[in-house]
């Protein structure tokens, strides 16, 4: 993992990038969801080893840390910096952001594994219906045309439409809560800065007198 220089209360870009899954209904449209779902082979091979990295930055670290994309969810894991003298509100914000990262990773890991297994089953059944096997005489992998695969993509999205809608709803709810907490943290820090300056000036005036 490498450091990501962000302010303690700043959201990463992914937090503001909700996924639009219905683009799959038109095969020629490539969306962020499509790129994640297309990691099918990796998901199949590693569906039993879906573990988060145990690496954690040193306590002295002053920045958020971001790691390489997960082969299962295709999302980069983020470990958020714990600031010195972290307030209760700041800790609440950091915990929610970290929990949201984990929730998002878990959703896309399960989604990609499900997509991979169903895709393989679809391809196998379609080839079998044609009297073909998954490999040709030279041992090369047999595949279906883009038009045939479009049928699977649409069917997969139609079947998971409700699940995707719930995901998007929860995604927006979390983003709104995180944004609200960020605003509260910023306002509180601004207020503390102002009051500290006023207090310093008052003490300075009293000492001079």
- Summarize pLDDT for 50-100 with one digit per residue, the tens: 455 566 666 567 788 888 999 999 999 888 888 888 999 999 999 999 999
In a domain, 189, yes or no: yes
Q: Taking 80 as the threshold, does the pLDDT of residue 113 lie above it?
A: yes
| Model pLDDT for residues 27-60, shown as the tens digit of each residue | 333 344 444 554 444 444 444 444 555 666 665 6
Give residue 110's pLDDT.
96
- CA–CA separation, 21 and 40 (whole Å): 16
Per-residue pLDDT averaged across 155-168, rounded? 96
Instruction: At 154, list the tokens.
Output: 């649409």
Assigned token pair, 57: 């930055």
Task: Inform me whether the pLDDT recorded for 162 exceeds 60.
Answer: yes
Tell me which residue range forms the domain holding 48. 2-203
At residue 209, the pLDDT reads 57
Task: Evaluate whether residue 208 is within a structural domain.
Answer: no
Distance CA 61, CA 163 (A): 38
**Within a domain: residue 194?**
yes
pLDDT at 28: 35
**pTM, two decimal places:** 0.66
* Contact assessment for residue 71 and residue 42, using Cβ atoms and an 8 Å cutoff: yes
**Kindly report the CA angle at 164 between 112 and 172, in degrees rounded to 5?**
115
Q: How many domains does the chain have?
A: 1
Give the HSE-up count for residue 208: Cα atoms under 13 Å, Cβ half-sphere: 6
209 within domain boundaries = no
Q: Which residues contact 107 (CB under 8 A, 6 or more apart)?
A: 73, 167
pLDDT tens for 118-142 read: 999 999 999 999 888 888 888 888 8
Q: What is the pLDDT of residue 48?
A: 42
Contacts of 92 (CB under 8 A, 6+ apart): 181
pLDDT of residue 84: 85
Rounded to a whole number, what is the distance in angstroms from the first to the last CA of the chain? Answer: 55
Q: What is the mean pLDDT of the chain?
A: 77
């Amino acid at each position: 993992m490498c450091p990501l220089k962000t302010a303690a209360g700043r959201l990463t870009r992914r937090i503001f990038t909700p996924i639009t899954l219905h683009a799959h209904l038109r095969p020629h449209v490539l969306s962020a969801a499509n790129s994640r779902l297309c990691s099918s082979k990796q998901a199949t091979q590693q569906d039993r080893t879906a573990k988060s990295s145990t690496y954690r930055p040193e306590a002295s670290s002053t920045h958020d840390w971001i790691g390489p994309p997960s082969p299962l969810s295709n999302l980069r894991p983020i470990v958020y910096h714990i600031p010195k003298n972290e307030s209760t509100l700041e800790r609440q914000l950091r915990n929610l952001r970290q929990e949201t990262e984990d929730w998002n990773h878990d959703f896309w890991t399960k989604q990609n594994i499900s997509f991979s297994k169903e895709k393989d089953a679809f391809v196998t059944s379609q080839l079998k219906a044609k009297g073909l096997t998954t490999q040709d005489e030279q041992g090369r992998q047999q595949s279906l045309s883009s038009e045939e695969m479009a049928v699977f993509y649409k069917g997969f999205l139609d079947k998971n439409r409700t699940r995707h809608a719930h995901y998007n709803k929860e995604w927006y709810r979390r983003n709104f809560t995180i944004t609200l907490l960020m605003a509260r943290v910023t306002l509180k820090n601004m207020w503390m800065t102002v009051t500290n300056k006023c207090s310093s000036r008052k003490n300075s005036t009293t000492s001079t007198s």
